[in-house]
Chain A
Amino acid sequence: MGRKILFVTTDQQRYDTLACNGGVLSRTPVVDALAAQGIRYERCQPTSVVCMPSRASMLTGQFPSTHGAWMNGVALAIDAPSFAEVLHDAGYKTALIGKAHFEPFLDPFGRFSENALANLGIPTVDEPWFDGRRGPHRGFDHLEFSTHGAQGFTHYAKWMQQNHPDQIGNFYQVLDADLQVNAAGGGDTDAPQVKSNPIPKDWYHTDWVADRTINWLRQQPADADWFCWMSFPDPHHPWDPPAEEVSRVPWRDVDLPANYPTSASEREALLDQKARHWRAWYDGRVVSNYEAPAKWVPATLTENQVREVNALNAVEVELIDEALGRVIDALEQMGCADDVDIFFTTDHGELQGDFGLLFKGPYHVDGLLRLPLIWRPAPSSAVAPAVVKAPVSLVSLAATFLDVAGEPRPSWVEGGVLPQSDSEASERKFDATVTEWDSALFGLDVHVRSVLTSKYLLTKYQKGALHDGTEGELYVLSDDPLQRINRFNDPALSDVQSELAERLHDHEVRPGDRATPGVLVAPV
């Protein structure tokens, strides 16, 4: 019998939303305890700051430029590699419960497997694997999907339709009548993607994901090896947690984020230092990507809206923490908690008021890049607790899961096993991570590459509709932790910039087989 693995992901959660990472708004005792018992990573970075490419990297252990799901709306090839397939082959029971998003959501034709099986209410489908055999969908024996709200083709939506149809309309309408990300305001401050949702907590998707996870776990024999990916859709917008829980974090008491410049002139001066699309988005001149509401102008964001969004986000983070606590209690009741490795992370961050902005896009700064990552190894493995400051990446997760399961690292995995200490990170040269962005939407293409070391963050904008190929940003993290002072092309840092640019070049020309980039077939 090997170690069992509970992989917990949230969606669009900042590093600083956890108390163990210095967060002050949310109480997160469950995750904090995991961090105290295990390994807390202070510099975990995604391969992409949007859902589909990032989640595909978790599954494949590859960068988006390798696995081919290069932007939201591009499906991960059905025969792409998957760590879950390797675990399945090794005898593991495998489940994914919650948000998957390896395939587009907006799919009225029902062409994609995830939407089709959710529509049919079945737990998995037989599909071709990367090595030509057939098996359960992407290696998962059991799938139950949910996403933001109760509409669309998910098992949660179906459950809501069958059990609480009167509640469905209480969620925020994520898309507007034009199928754009909705800009409509709500709550007390008329903030975008905010709504008071009278749904009881027990019926909200956070508790549903935990309930379904517990249900699946309890069906596993005591001697079974299993891998369970529990994937919460929150705290991604919309911010519409159960109204009965909102009083946990009164928004009027919330301090503005450290990186929210309170005067418009300061915001504009900071944005003007960065590549041109930052200010263009802020002013409402260009929305380069689908993930932010096209009809919302960031310059209109008020201090109170930032407070309310952050408060609701914090409520959602607390609900996730409590739901995770229930799952861990269930593991203890089952008597297997000592043999379970627990990983907690997210797919990317959220700007949440930084620089006067909300949501996400091709903006590679800590709000989007710096992620919570906790690994609590199975207590039976007696791994020493640690804090790892070295940069690591979500691309390492697949290799790490396989290592925990005692499986060799396949040749297609690009990320190495996560280090368990800074000394190990140093020995194994975990000294830089790369994040990619590629998007092309209705004639507007943006291509970005960033490399982060313990000291610096370099972003280079490749030639596209908004950039001429010469722009970039360079931040000195020790002096400028909020990434406010762009030192790109500063002669004093020319050697640093050259060395980091060389690392990005090495990333671009790294060896290995690349999948043909997928076709954009939906906005998300």
Chain B
Amino acid sequence: MATVRYERRISADPDTVWSVFCEPDSIPEWFPGVVSCTVEGNIRTITLGTGLSMPEEILTVDPLLRRFQYKVTSPLYHFHLGTIDVIALGPLDSLCVYSTTAVPDALALITGGATDGALDEIKRMAEDKMREQS
């Protein structure tokens, strides 16, 4: 089992950061390489830029803790847990942490590597929202 973690400090209040990704069907907007998705109940199926389709189970959507957790249930993964946390550092200052734990190990790196790009988008979208609001 391997785990990787990426984080971004974002110049936005934590609720604005949370609002970028808290809806499960928003993922194509902020996760590079996810071109579309469907959501039925707590099952989300994403389609990747390569045409691959991957089912996921949404585990946690907690607006108070600002924690979003899911697991990829594709047979490619023997285990997966993805966690996005938003931590308030100040009124307009947040830390967004995206953790990936997976088996096989290589998939933690590949999936986690993609989350690094996702954080770039979350930061950009949250900070754009802040500018629009001001």
From A108-116, A244-252, A394-402, the one touching the partner chain is A108-116
Q: With A and B bound together, what is the CA distance between A178 and B105 in angstroms?
A: 7
Determine the interface band of chain A, counting residues with CB < 8 A from chain B. Answer: 20 to 34
From A83-91, A335-343, A467-475, A514-522, the one touching the partner chain is A514-522
User: Is residue A454 contacting chain B, with contact meaning CB distance below 8 A?
Assistant: no
User: Is residue B49 contacting chain A, with contact meaning CB distance below 8 A?
Assistant: yes
Q: Mark B1-32, 1 if CB is under 8 A from A, else 0.
A: 01000100000000000000000000000001
Q: With A and B bound together, what is the CA distance between A288 and B90 in angstroms?
A: 40
Contact check, A109 vs B34: say whether CB atoms are below 8 A apart.
yes
Contact check, A119 vs B50: say whether CB atoms are below 8 A apart.
yes
In the complex, what's the smallest C-beta–C-beta distance from A519 to chain B, in angstroms? 5
Within 8 A of A (CB), among B50-92: 50-52
Looking across the interface, which residue of chain A has its beta carbon closest to that of B3?
Answer: A442
Contact check, A178 vs B110: say whether CB atoms are below 8 A apart.
no
Q: Mark B76-119, 1 if CB is under 8 A from A, else 0.
A: 00000000000000000000000000001111011011101100
Q: Mark A107-139, 1 if CB is under 8 A from B, else 0.
A: 111110001100100000000000000000000
Contact check, A521 vs B48: say whether CB atoms are below 8 A apart.
no
Looking across the interface, which residue of chain B has its beta carbon closest to that of A179?
Answer: B106
> Chain A's interface: helix, strand, loop or mixed, by majority?
loop
Task: Name the residue among B48, B49, B52, B104 with the largest chain A CB count within 10 angstroms.
Answer: B49
Looking across the interface, which residue of chain A has its beta carbon closest to that of B105?
Answer: A442
* B110 CB contact (under 8 Å) in A107, A153, A441, A519: A107
Looking across the interface, which residue of chain A has its beta carbon closest to that of B35?
Answer: A110
User: Is residue A106 contacting chain B, with contact meaning CB distance below 8 A?
Assistant: yes
Looking across the interface, which residue of chain A has its beta carbon closest to that of B52?
Answer: A108
Q: Give the number of residue pairs across the A-B interface with Cβ within 8 Å.
A: 74
Q: Mark A284-303, 1 if CB is under 8 A from B, else 0.
A: 00000010000000000000
Contact check, A110 vs B106: say whether CB atoms are below 8 A apart.
no
Q: With A and B bound together, what is the CA distance between A115 and B110 in angstroms?
A: 14
A178 and B106 contact, Cβ closer than 8 Å, known pairs A110-B48, A153-B50: yes
Q: With A and B bound together, what is the CA distance between A441 and B117 in angstroms?
A: 19
User: Is residue A180 contacting chain B, with contact meaning CB distance below 8 A?
Assistant: yes
Contact check, A523 vs B116: say whether CB atoms are below 8 A apart.
no
Within 8 A of B (CB), among A164-180: 175, 177-180
Contact check, B109 vs A109: say whether CB atoms are below 8 A apart.
no
Which 9 pairs of residues, A with B, have the shortest CB-CB distance? A521-B113, A109-B33, A110-B49, A179-B106, A178-B104, A110-B50, A111-B33, A109-B114, A523-B106
Q: Please give, as numbers and ranges, the residues of chain A lying within 8 Å of B32 by CB-CB distance.
A: 109, 111
Q: With A and B bound together, what is the CA distance between A104 and B50 in angstroms?
A: 14
Task: Name the residue among B6, B34, B50, B105 with the largest chain A CB count within 10 angstroms.
Answer: B50
16 pairs of residues in contact across A and B, judged by CB atoms under 8 Å = A106-B106, A107-B50, A109-B34, A109-B50, A110-B51, A111-B114, A178-B105, A178-B106, A180-B105, A442-B2, A442-B105, A442-B109, A520-B109, A522-B109, A522-B110, A523-B109
A179 and B113 contact, Cβ closer than 8 Å, known pairs A110-B33, A110-B49: no
User: Is residue A419 contacting chain B, with contact meaning CB distance below 8 A?
Assistant: no
Q: With A and B bound together, what is the CA distance between A92 and B4 in angstroms?
A: 43
Q: With A and B bound together, what is the CA distance between A232 and B56 in angstroms?
A: 39
Within 8 A of B (CB), among A61-76: 73
Q: With A and B bound together, what is the CA distance between A120 and B123 in angstroms?
A: 29
Contact check, A179 vs B104: say whether CB atoms are below 8 A apart.
yes
Q: Please give, as numbers and ranges, the residues of chain B lying within 8 Å of A520 by CB-CB distance.
A: 109, 113
* A119 CB contact (under 8 Å) in B34, B49, B104: B49
Q: With A and B bound together, what is the CA distance between A355 and B79 in angstroms?
A: 38
In the complex, what's the smallest C-beta–C-beta distance from A79 to chain B, in angstroms? 15
